Structure 1
């Protein structure tokens, strides 16, 4: 009987430890994101959402339909449209009509956009390296694997 009580305490302690982990992860994520937003604004006169759109497009040479871009970024089409509009005004992306579908367009980076994204991505990588310098490569790989497992866990 005492063993069961110990198990319940252990389970409760584990639950509390996981809750503390979640809160610290959230706090750390918000801190890193705030630094990234500030540095993108001050060093490149851009925003994190614009960077995210360019990063998504950089992975697809032929571009993406707006709906696919929204899916990759996990945001609404409306959110992406305004960002793409501003990137197009700056000459970083171009919209190309999808043959046979007047309502659909592909969005892709221009050469100017590719060059600008390369500059931003290099700085972004350096900032992340600085912000997460307390983790060596082995720790970073282990944590990445563990968070991937959480991300891919089936919802029940």
Structure 2
């Protein structure tokens, strides 16, 4: 391995560390303040963005998880009255899931705190830092 290759590997390890630390902090916040989990928050966020609802397959693709994982979270949300499943255009084989009014309210309360936690995690970064990071990550994500 050359020096640049080693530096890229070290950067990757650092990125993983930062990501895991931030994710752990957000998991702890959601558990402590909202008695919920990060996967549940992620499902609610996806449903909040798509108010007209999504199929379970669409939800799985949006979240990059298996249908089984998405179904388990939606089952719990539905049991708690935060989401509901409905047959699409009367076709009981095609089900859409969406947040209930209670789910929308609950998610919006969680999202406000979640944003504040993310803001605190990155509080030592200014506008120029964030712009640079966004550009670097965009370039790093391009695979040719």
For the criterion TM > 0.5, the same-fold answer is: yes
Give aligned pairs, total: 144
Who is 2:26 aligned against?
A: 36
Q: 1:104 deviation in Å?
A: 2.0
Task: Using CA pairs under 8 Å that are at least 6 residues apart, name the structure with larger relative contact order, 1 or 2.
Answer: 2
> RMSD in angstroms over aligned alpha carbons?
1.5
Please say which structure displays the higher CA radius of gyration.
1
Residue number among 113, 123, 139 corresponding to 1:133 in the alignment: 123
Alignment partners' CA distance in 2, 1:88 and 1:131: 32
Q: Scaled by the length of structure 2, what TM-score is found?
A: 0.93
Instruction: Give unpaired runs (5+ residues) of structure 1.
Output: 1-10
Alignment partners' CA distance in 2, 1:138 and 1:122: 24
Alignment partners' CA distance in 2, 1:145 and 1:63: 32
Who is 1:16 aligned against?
A: 6
Who is 2:105 aligned against?
A: 115
Instruction: Give unpaired runs (5+ residues) of structure 2.
Output: none
Alignment partners' CA distance in 2, 1:146 and 1:63: 34
Q: Scaled by the length of structure 1, what TM-score is found?
A: 0.87
